[in-house]
Amino acid sequence: MSQVHLDSELPVKKVHIRKNIRLTKFKDDCKRFIRTQKIGLVSILFIFLVVLVAILAPMIAPFDPVDQNREAFLAAPNAQHVMGTDDLGRDVFSRIVYGSRISLLVGFATVIISIIIGILIGMVSGYFGGIVDMVIQRIMDAIMAIPALILALFIAALLGPAIQNVIIALVIIEIPRFARIVRGEMMRIRETNFVEASRSVGANALRIIMRHGLPNMMAPIIVMASLAFGQTIIAEASLSFLGIGTPPPNPSWGLMLSNASRYMESAPWLVIFPGLALSLLVLAFNLLGDALRDFLDPKLSS
């Protein structure tokens, strides 16, 4: 009985050992990232700050972002309105704080949905090849053949101005990019010795893809995702600037810049502050993407 009891505990102990090894490796990787990627660390801290501001927006913003103050049209920055007011008397600082919610929502939703769909399409295309790969890749080619902004404009205009429609338009644009990367990685992984060994012992396609394919392609996916965040935030701002993105009176940074374009000389703060917020957030994601690429790719790490 004691031997049976010991045998039953062995799998549990192995699971705990594997978890401890993974946790230790994760901690070591975090320490190495902090030590070697200072710019990436600063970018993470800034992005975390923006996320915190978006979550605590009702506590941080001194005014409602859509409330109009008829006595403070185009007021310059002062003690009451630290970033001034717009042409309708709305507090610019409050609108920037709430606008971070829209930018992050569009960015996170677009990237997560694009990753899920792109991984599924890319792994199927890369693993099976043949006619399946040809059909899928021709569809991806057709989407990527159209300039991204023009395609986004067409889809957003077709669906109408709404946040969810902006997300749909951007997801359609981002899916081929993730699918192409995953396909290339899957084609490389399927020819490796450990995949051949899995096939020889009877492992099916799903098990090979999930057990060997997905874990070995996470590095390029993570890098691509961090860069895609900045691209989607810029795209959302561009669509809102053109009037077919986030509908008013929502405080989108792109919509704020569009409204401010008429007052660049008389009220430059309407352009400076939203533009600065947008530029810094996109820059942080791009720098994070570069840092992750250097960290995860041993060929590029110093």
Whether residue 134 is contained in a domain is answered as: yes
Whether residue 8 is contained in a domain is answered as: no
Instruction: Give the pLDDT score at 207.
Output: 74
Instruction: Give the pLDDT score at 22.
Output: 65
Whether residue 5 is contained in a domain is answered as: no
Domain residues for 185? Answer: 37-67+75-296
Residues of the chain with confidence (pLDDT) below 70: 1-23, 26, 29, 202-203, 205, 212, 297-302
Instruction: Give the pLDDT score at 16.
Output: 58
Could you tell me the CATH number of the domain that includes residue 277? Answer: 1.10.3720.10
Domain count, the chain: 1
CB atoms within 10 A of CB 180: 20
Query: What SS3 state is found at 91?
Result: strand
Whether residue 26 is contained in a domain is answered as: no
- Taking CA atoms, 18 is separated from 13, 22, 149, 211, in Å, by 9, 6, 46, 15
Q: Which residues contact 174 (CB under 8 A, 6 or more apart)?
A: 110, 111, 114, 118, 228, 231, 232
Whether residue 221 is contained in a domain is answered as: yes
Whether residue 182 is contained in a domain is answered as: yes
Please name the amino acid found at residue 103. Answer: S
Whether residue 28 is contained in a domain is answered as: no
Alpha-helix runs per DSSP H in 160-217: 163-189, 193-200, 205-208
Instruction: Give the pLDDT score at 302.
Output: 45
